[in-house]
Amino acid sequence: MHENRINPPARIQRNVLAIGERRLLNWLCAHMPAWVKPDQLTALGMVGAALIFAGYATSLLDEDWLWLCIPGYLLHWFGDSMDGSLARYRHIERPRYGYFLDHSCDGIATFLILLGIGLSPYVRLEVALIAMIGYLLLCMHAFLAVRVLGEMRLSYLNAGPTELRLVLITLTFAMLVLGDKQRDMEAMTGFDWFVGGVGLVLIALFLVQTARSVRKLARIEPGF
């Protein structure tokens, strides 16, 4: 019988924490109860994203709600990192299903997190949207690279999703310590400049990576 299988793309992951994180994930996979399934972990990651959104959005009422973001980030990391890892560890991968579900949830989670930041009293919504555009453009490049180059890039500039979460956790602590809730002031705050700057860096990375991929593809498929 013919089996309709697809070859998984080559995973390119060179972020600073990759080796230590992989060891931790492997240990967690080995000690995970048998009743825990990858889809449950995916759902747990989405619960974490919802908590992050709620923490930022309600900080307009009281800054102490920002503390809700911290366990949210931990749950999101755990669910998002463990679902695919557990499937591969148990050899129960569903390549198309897992790829589609995982990245669909990543898009929703990113939308919730950055929308929450934009609704907080610390960062303007339009600035948060710049960061969202940059992140989603870079995701688009990664998805296209899977199709045309057969590789899944999980990190840029030696940083990946885990490092980005640590940056956002640090930003959240800075909001708690240094934030002055200047939502209605015309002047840009330091948080605006930081989040907007990150967004512009992501957009620049998208442009650079796109140019590199085009050159690589041109060598593979030379014109006449």
Per-residue pLDDT of the chain (224 residues; tens, 9 = 90+): 344 455 566 656 566 677 788 899 999 999 999 999 999 999 999 999 999 999 999 998 889 999 999 999 999 999 999 998 999 999 998 988 988 998 899 999 999 999 999 999 899 999 999 999 998 898 888 888 888 777 776 666 666 788 888 999 999 999 998 876 655 556 788 899 999 999 999 999 999 989 988 888 888 878 66
Q: Are 202 and 137 in contact (CB under 8 A)?
A: yes
Q: Are 94 and 32 in contact (CB under 8 A)?
A: no
Largest CA distance in the chain: 67
For residue 145, the tally of other CB atoms under 10 A from its CB is 21
Residue 115, pLDDT score: 94
- Name the 3-class secondary structure at 152: strand
Residue 3, pLDDT score: 43
Q: Are 47 and 89 in contact (CB under 8 A)?
A: no
Homologous superfamily of the 17-220 domain (CATH): CDP-alcohol phosphotransferase transmembrane (TM) domain (1.20.120.1760)
Residue 17, pLDDT score: 75
Burial of 131 (0-12, 13-18, 19+ CB in 10 A): buried
Burial of 92 (0-12, 13-18, 19+ CB in 10 A): exposed
pTM for the complete prediction?
0.85
